Amino acid sequence: MVLLIGGCASVSVKDEQQVANAGGETRPDAIYVIPFSTDGEFNVDREGAELAEFKQNLQEMMVVALETRFPKHLVPTRTAPSMMDVPSGNYWVVGGTFTLVNQGSRALRATIGFGAGGTKVETDVYVYDIASKSPTPFRVFRTTGGSGAQPGAVVGLNPVGAALSAVSGAAKGLTDDVVRTSRMITADLSEYMYERNWIPESRKLEAKR
């Protein structure tokens, strides 16, 4: 029963802060996405050069996920290697930090599921308004969540279903977490823009809190 109720696959937003006099008062012409820092805690089965490559891949994955989602729900989106590479203009910059990355156990997710061996990704997100000339982000929030709710081979209802569940459980993990995280970051900003009548309701996403 613990296995049946203990797992979930979701990401939520928390600890939202709006900073006064730091911008965010005008709809941006575009949003620049920069790579998230990987200075947080990484509990993964890699070290040295493999760990460095893993972190870089995670950064690239987040940039691509946000670059894909933002134009659909917010405004045109571009990428930059760092804040220093963003040109002057009516732009926002979205970046952050991977504060916690737990790889979990792919074997347990595949064979048992329902949260066993689940992954977890937490981020701090910072949104800057370049036009405001402020060195302080005008919006700050956190995301937290993970994967592991898919049923595994042990609890499959039939051999075919069990095999599919095993493959699915093995493939899911941190990639899903980053995709879900990108959706919650987009949702938070879409709510912000919708409240100010900058985007129509059809483009608004609901952030989970």
Residues 80-116 have pLDDT tens digits of 999 999 999 999 999 999 999 999 765 444 444 444 4
What pTM value is reported for the model?
0.81
* pLDDT given for residue 150 in this prediction: 46
Residue among 13, 17, 14 nearest 136 (CA): 17
More confident residue, 27 or 176: 27
For the record, the structure tokens of 52 come out as 């460095």
Cα 28 vs. chain centroid, distance in angstroms? 21
Mean predicted lDDT score pLDDT of the chain: 84
**Range name among 2-6, 127-131, 132-136, 165-169 with the lowest pLDDT average:** 165-169
36, 101 contact by CB (below 8 A): no
**What are the CA-CA distances from residue 179 to residues 39, 59, 76, 105, 121 (Å)?**
20, 12, 19, 19, 11
Residues 6+ apart with CB under 8 A from 69: 182, 183, 186
